[in-house]
Amino acid sequence: LTLSNMPLSIPQHIRKKILNKKKKKQRGAQSSLPPKKKNKRRKTAPIVIPEPGSQPAKILVNRSPVLVLWTTVVAEKLFDLHWSEALTIGNALAAQISKAKGTSLGIYQKSTGEENNDDDTTLQPDRHFDIMGSRVPALTTEVGVRGIGNNQEQDPNQIWKLMQKKFGQDLGYVVHAMKQAVSPVSKDELAASAWNY
């Protein structure tokens, strides 16, 4: 029913009330339907690596961000990944190593059966990357490959923001220097000796 196809014999203010009641009923019927599931995965904004700039005199940074960037560069070359995909593999590996170190120092408790299972993730990985002596679980998503670390799908934009915070204006220089280091090396050689650079 619409205002135009109701009989003209019904006064306009009554026609409007009838339509309003109909609209309320329709809204009530829609609200009784189960809510649509929201897609929690955020769209990935493009990551832009800054220009290298001049060589800094000194860079003071924790070793974990260095490991994330180095593993990212290695993964990008070894597996032909996009930079955003490789970032998630780098961060997942750093999380894996951090957890292993924390467990060995008694910071984290080792759960039963974990000794023989590096992939103690509730997410179901559909692929793995053997890199730098470790096996990193990953998912293939509609936005690309995503590494799994600490039982979570890694977000490349969050990782990149952290790298920007840790390296500041030297981030471009560090990434370009690492890319130059792996450029002349073959994939086989890099796979065998990535820890030695």
Q: What is the pLDDT of residue 64?
A: 93
Contacts of 191 (CB under 8 A, 6+ apart): 78, 131
Torsion of CA 150, 156, 158, 161, to 10 degrees: 130
3-class SS shares of the chain: helix, strand, coil, % to 5? 50, 10, 40
Question: What pTM does this model have?
Answer: 0.70
d(Cα 30, Cα 18) in Å, to the nearest integer?
19
The answer to whether the beta carbons of residues 70 and 48 sit under 8 Å apart is no
Cβ atoms within 10 Å, residue 134: 15
Q: What is the pLDDT of residue 191?
A: 95
Q: What is the pLDDT of residue 110?
A: 66
Contacts of 78 (CB under 8 A, 6+ apart): 131, 187, 190, 191
Q: What is the pLDDT of residue 158?
A: 96
Contacts of 52 (CB under 8 A, 6+ apart): 172, 173, 175, 176, 177
Maximum distance among all alpha carbons in the chain? 90
Q: What is the pLDDT of residue 116?
A: 44
Q: What is the pLDDT of residue 111?
A: 59
The candidate with the shortest Cα–Cα distance to 145, out of 188, 93, 98, 83, is 83
Q: What is the pLDDT of residue 197?
A: 74
Q: What is the pLDDT of residue 114?
A: 46
What tens-digit pLDDT sequence spans the chain (197 residues)?
565 666 666 777 777 777 787 777 777 665 555 554 444 555 667 888 888 888 888 888 889 999 999 999 999 999 999 999 999 999 999 999 987 776 666 666 665 544 444 444 478 899 999 999 999 999 999 999 999 998 899 999 999 999 999 999 999 999 999 999 999 999 999 999 998 87
- What are the backbone angles phi and psi of residue 140, rounded to the nearest 5°? -100, 115
Q: What is the pLDDT of residue 48?
A: 87
